[in-house]
Amino acid sequence: MEFTVAQDGSGDFPSVQKCVDAIPADFEGPVGIFIRKGRYKEKLDIVKPFVTLIGENAKETILTYDDCAGKRMPDGKKMGTFRSYSTRITGEGFRAENITFENAAGQKGRVGQALAAYVDADKVCFRNCRFLGFQDTLFTGPPPQDAGDLEWMKKEEIRRNGRNRQLYDNCYLEGDVDFIFGSATAVFRKCEIFSKNRDKKVNGYITAASTPESRQYGYVFMDCQLTGDAGPQSVYLGRPWRKYAKVAFLDCQMGSHIIGEGWNNWRDREKEKTVSYVEYNSSGPGAKRQKRVSWSRCLTSEEASKYQLENIFPENNSWYI
């Protein structure tokens, strides 16, 4: 089943959500949706499995919305972090290529958290995609069972202990505070990770992982470029949202914006005992191993060799090839 979305009426549907909604509820896929160039301002929910979105051009096919945590809902309550998404993906086997996912709420004032993409699904693959935002740009799924702030969601929508494997290949991700966060086992391969300036002593944190204790791998960055317009020594590689956070940087080039210490304990020294923050073969001005916090470490070459896709994503590999 294949469709074309075009704002000018030349396709099957003028909007992405209308196209997704037209997929029969009992259809098990795959479904291909080609999206022509345009700025599609839609708050998207993609719950059906095996949907593939292919944009005409990554920089000119833009899925965007402007909700944010500080926005007031009709009942007067603030929207909060997890309702602020522009695109939410909960359907297994989702794929996207050549698309920009954006939250356009901005940075100033009381915007706060504003998700460009909320991804809580297994076997998800993004290729040549862009994720644009500031705080909390990319959410990769809820933390383990203590996620009380997600009680507003239906229980069946929360994959608290299930599989949640994601691949980001040749993508661009930008933000400032905790802009890649959540519980997924996610690989970022040959991506550019851009840290935005906030004009503060600490401009931000790239990751805020909440890896479940039972999972061997959390976030794995392979051959990535860490860039940004944030000032020198002002951005941490990450801080732990939950105490078993796992993050690895392998063969990554790190700009001068990366703080020498590398990692932050989020004001909780107990987490230093349980996190797994590791690097291998980091390079660039931000890769000063001698300054790193004592509770992070450098992998041996033997340990680093185990960080292969077939080990991180065992069993069926057809979903990411």
Q: Which residues are catalytic?
A: 136, 178
Q: What are phi and psi of 186, to 5 degrees?
A: -135, 135
Q: Which helix (H) or strand (E) holds 255?
A: none
Residue burial 156-195, b: 16+ Cβ < 10 Å; e: rest:
eebbbeeebbbbbbebbbbbbbbbbbbbbbbbbbebbbbb
Task: Calculate Rg over the CA atoms of the chain.
Answer: 19
Q: What are phi and psi of 86, to 5 degrees?
A: -90, -45
Q: Residue 51 has which token pair?
A: 């949907």
Q: Residue 48 has which token pair?
A: 């059906």
- What letter would DSSP give residue 233? T
Determine the Cα–Cα distance for residues 160 and 229; give it in Å rounded to an integer: 35
* Secondary structure (DSSP) of 42-110: --EEE-SSSEEEEES-TTTEEEEE---TTPBPTTS-B--GGG--SEEE-STT-EEES-EEEE-S-SSTT
Amino acid present at 303: E
Helix-, strand-, coil-residue percentages of the chain, each rounded to 5:
10, 35, 55
Beta bridge partners, 88, equal: 45, 118
